[in-house]
Structure 1
Amino acid sequence: MPELPEVETVRAGLARHLTGRAVERVEILDPRPLRRQRGGPDAFVRRLTGRTFTAAVRRGKFLWLPLDDGDALVAHLGMSGQLLVHGTATGRNSSAAAGADAQDARAFLGDPGAPRVDLTATRAPQPAGDPDAHPRHLRVRLHLRPIAGDAPGGAALDLVDQRMFGGLRITAMVPTADGAPGGAGSPAPLIPVDVTHIARDLLDPHLDRPAAVAKMRRSNRAVKTLLMDQGIVSGVGNIYADEGLWAARVHGLRPGKALGPRVTARLLDATGEVMERALAAGGTSFDALYVDADGAAGFFARSLAVYGRAGQECRRCGTLLRAETIGGRSHVFCPRCQTRPRLPRER
């Protein structure tokens, strides 16, 4: 499942291409991705047609596009979802697009000194001049109101999803509990009503880190499970949990209560740093589900220290990496760098 760096890469591309664009009509080819929409597909079409996207915002793995009527189009990519923008104007000739680019440059969470790598799908997997061509697994297409510079066949935002664990929905926005911006990409202190249970992420400057540390240290659960708990910190999945634990030299089975405050803070910092490096590389891609329409992929996979490398040498000490299961998820670790805790024997 895409984690914070992958979703942030998508968000940055959507902000660049969709901010200020209006939806002319909605084409639903498969209603299943709209299963969480109150009122069903008809309500989705009615509430979205004619609306204008004002930004693209992300918290953790959740992504939303605020609308000019105060609601938001919320997207969750699930296991295989892709949001593909195609046919849009280059955006360099309009003041609205220029403003979107400037805002996006400030909001992008990668290394500001590194080359900008847009690995979102900015072109469709078919000629832009053919408005009737549909990519495989296309579920929903939002046709954008034409502007100068768009492709002859028009511009659109596609939801392409093979497994359909994610989806789209229109929902109301509510004020954030702490009065801070809802997420990366907008200064507005607003968040979709059904995303309020999601904690801030490790790259959010408004995250209350001492509170996150305290929550983890109050629990007897394995620290890897805690790190992936979206109610404590969001955006961390199996990939970056393993990478952060290795970077901090902490075994994933250690209970939260067994960690000191400095070790816990070091773990959160290390995990955040790994995600920043992954974001600068466009995220981690392992298969065709995580590439853009031209086949471009995030290339952080080549920098992974432990995830997917069981049986290979530790990049730090040379010891062979091992794998075990924690909470139903695989955990790859170095037995020398990450000492496995001694757990009470089961009776």
Structure 2
Amino acid sequence: MAVFAEGTPCWADVQLPDIEAGKRFYGELFGWTFDPVTLEARIDGRRAAGLVPKRDGRMPTTWTVYLATGDAGVLARRIEAAGGRMVMAPYPVGPYGVTALAADPGGAVFGLRQGGERDDGFQTRMEPGSFCWMEVYTREKDAVDTFYAAVFGYVAQDLAEGSLDYQVWSPPGSRPGDDTSFGGRAVITDAFPAEMPGHVLIYFAVQDVDAACAATVRMGGRITNEPFDTPHGRIAVLTDNQGARFGVLAEPAAEGDSAKGGSAKGDSAEGFRTGDAPEGEPEVEGSAETGAGTRAGTGAEAGEESLADRPAPGSTAKTAEKSAEKPDDMT
């Protein structure tokens, strides 16, 4: 069984009011097939993400990322001591271990997953249709930076281009850099809608961002941020046909590797650098009070694949700057 580093993304799921519609949408968009019992999405038989039935209309329709932990109870106490709060206290989910929901001091909600007997975390990353990056957006920069360093021990690397403030995270004990980073922190500035809450945005790798946008619109979703190019790939932010928002990224083909098209590299354990700011729909990410998608049978068990090459950080600054020039729509 593989092992995920403490605090790194180990699973993602989306809470939807109509699961069958979600299967059709994401099946066409990412080529996912689905386990009929657990609703796990698979790529060539490997676990990529999960769909969660939304049983309470007050809860947001949203994607949730889960961070790995060896002891959810201990981590929950650290979260509260560091100024965060538990939205949903740790609870057992049978062979899938223990899961919980927490919010950082800026209100961004994320999940926790303590592994159980069943290895049900990501089995693929960075290839088309799979998770590739997470971003925490916040208005409480100092409190949030201190929070993630204290709770998870993230090794931070600041990227500053002009007025942009962006921080890239690597696992505790690692050397900061593009070969270890898995996510980042962006600041919600005055350029964005005032009602935009703190939130987490996750990205999926695709071969063709424009094709993903066209498919999303054709299936009743919408483009939240139009595709644009960065030095390390083409990016867009999309909203599915039920209101869940997510990013897509196509890494440019390496020199002499045109057969890959825009696909992300290989099967690496951590993500690619992105930074587009999502639209300001408070209901989508919701406040920490509403919780996020979690259920027995779709959470992640501690596990992590080996690290692989990644492009240098830098697209974060360019993409967040692009979004600041043109705030997200409010429809």
TM-score band, normalised by the shorter chain?
A: under 0.3
- Where is the strand percentage greater, Structure 1 or Structure 2? 2
Tell me: higher relative CO, structure 1 or 2? Use CA pairs within 8 A at least 6 residues apart: 2
From the CA coordinates, give the structure whose radius of gyration is larger: 1
TM-score normalised by L of structure 2: 0.26
Q: Output the TM-score relative to the length of structure 1.
A: 0.25
